Structure formats: C-alpha cells, structure tokens
Amino acid sequence: MDLRAFQWMFFIIIPAFVSVSGASDIVAGLQNDLNVDELVEKALKKMEEAEEYASMDLFEKVLTIDADNYEALWNLSLLYSKKGHRLEDRGAMMEDYERARDLAELCLEYYPEQADCHYVYAVAIGRIADISGTRRRVHASEEIKDHIDRTLELEPDHKGGWHLLGVWHASVANLSRAERWTASLIFGGLPGGASNSKAEESLKKAIELYPDNILFHLDLARFYREVGRTGDAIKVLEKTLGLEVKDMDDPANLERAKSMLEDLR
C-alpha cells in the first residue's frame, strides 16, 4: 500500500471530533517519523561505506525534522570531530570541533544515560584541547577522563571508550616538561593517575573488542614508539598494514603506519 492510500484510510477512521486540519497534522507527523527513520538508515549506511560527508548531510537533515534524534546527535558529533581533524586551517578545524561539542552537549542533555553521548563529548573537547594552549589542554584532561569513565560505566565494552582511555593515558603519562609543570599546579601531579601500563592495557582492550580497526593499531604502535619499545611498535605496524580499509581515514592511517614502519626499521 502506498502512502497516499494509507493517508486516505487514516482520514476515514479518524473519529468525528478530530478536525481535518488536526488530522493533517497527525499524518504529517507520521510522514516525518517515516522520513526520519529512512534518513537515519541511509546515513548509517553511508558511514559503513566510508562516505562520511554524505552521511553528515543526511544526519543534518534528520535534525531539521527531529532535533533530539539520538542517532543523529551522537554520530554527527563524532563525524564533525573526525572532519575537523583532517583540516589544516586552525580556524576551520575549531569550527568543526565546536560544532561537535555542541551536538555532544545536546546529546548529553537529552540522553545523559547513553554511553555514546559521553564518548563523543570526550572526543570533541579532547580535539579542542589539542589545538589550545598548554593550560587549557591540561585543565581539560580531567573533564575528558570523567566522560571516558562514564562511557565505560554505562557500556563496559565500548570499543571507542577503551581506545580513548588508552590515548588519554598515553598522552597524559607522557606530557612535556611544561605540561607536567602546569599539571602540578592544577592537580598537584598527573591527573587521574595516568600511566603507561594503563595506556597499553586500554589500547589492547580496544583492539580485542575491534581487532580490524586500523586506528586502534596505529595508536598502539605510536604509544610503543613514544615509550621506546621499538620492537613492539614494528610488530603492531606490520599487522596494521595487513588490515582492510573500512573507514574514511583508513587510507591515510595506513600511509602513516607505512611511513612509521620505514622510520623504525
């Protein structure tokens, strides 16, 4: 049955006390619901096909119809964080990161008990901190950790959460001298008990949950390189180069892995 026939039947069975204009509003609402579901499905499919910009356009359309749509809010936030990271212009980068943060804040407002909302918020403010000054970077680390922890409390096997936790420990445990000095002023030491052992453990957990993820492997190799474990880094990079491309950033990450491997050998 096509939608026009459905609409006609709907008008027939509406009780007499419902006005025609009111019935039209109800039908329009049903059409919107159908459109939203279809748009979300298409957007998710585009993500799976590594067509992230097309996916972003579709999720933006979803939000014009359904401003608090869960799938659109958290996925679009993550996509803006990823898009910004590909840019070279700092101003354009910050615009995307701030859009990612704003969407994540809405996600948290509407769905505070959803792990993905805490995850994308941590990603967004982490990206903003990355291109900010030392003090802001160090200060943001505690808030980032809080939302990573909340992500894993709500969903213990959240693969993105474990990856982000590993990156957080690797970054904070290996701060520069200036950053360590700032951390000592703000927190009296490294925030959140950061350590290299927890960095390795968390990154390995992320890979255990998603063994085909190129970025997870690359970040583990980066960590090993950072702490001087060259042999372990080489082993991970060799495995990384055999993984299949699944994400829009995978080709670039494979090139980074190849270049790092050449440098380490």
The reported pLDDT for the residue numbered 64 is 95
CB 46 within 8 A of CB 63: no
CB 155 within 8 A of CB 173: no
> What pLDDT is recorded for position 34?
63
Yes or no: say if 241 and 255 are a contact pair by the CB < 8 Å rule: no
**Poorest-confidence range of 1-5, 45-49, 132-136, 232-236?**
1-5
Tell which wins on pLDDT, 221 or 189: 221
pLDDT in tens, 2-46: 433 433 332 223 334 444 444 444 444 444 556 899 999 999 999
Residue 130 in contact with residue 144, Cβ under 8 Å? Answer: no
Q: What is the pLDDT of residue 181?
A: 61
The rounded distance, in Å, linking the Cα atoms of 180 and 58 is 43
Residue 32: what pLDDT?
56
Q: What is the pTM of this model?
A: 0.84
Report the pLDDT averaged over residues 139-150.
93
The answer to which of 62-76, 96-110, 167-181, 232-246 has the lowest mean pLDDT is: 167-181
Alpha-carbon distances, residue 34 vs 110, 214, 250 (angstroms): 21, 35, 33
State the pLDDT confidence band at 84, using cuts at 50, 70 and 90: very high
Q: Give the whole-angstrom CA distance, residue 249 versus residue 252.
A: 6
Q: What is the mean pLDDT of the chain?
A: 86
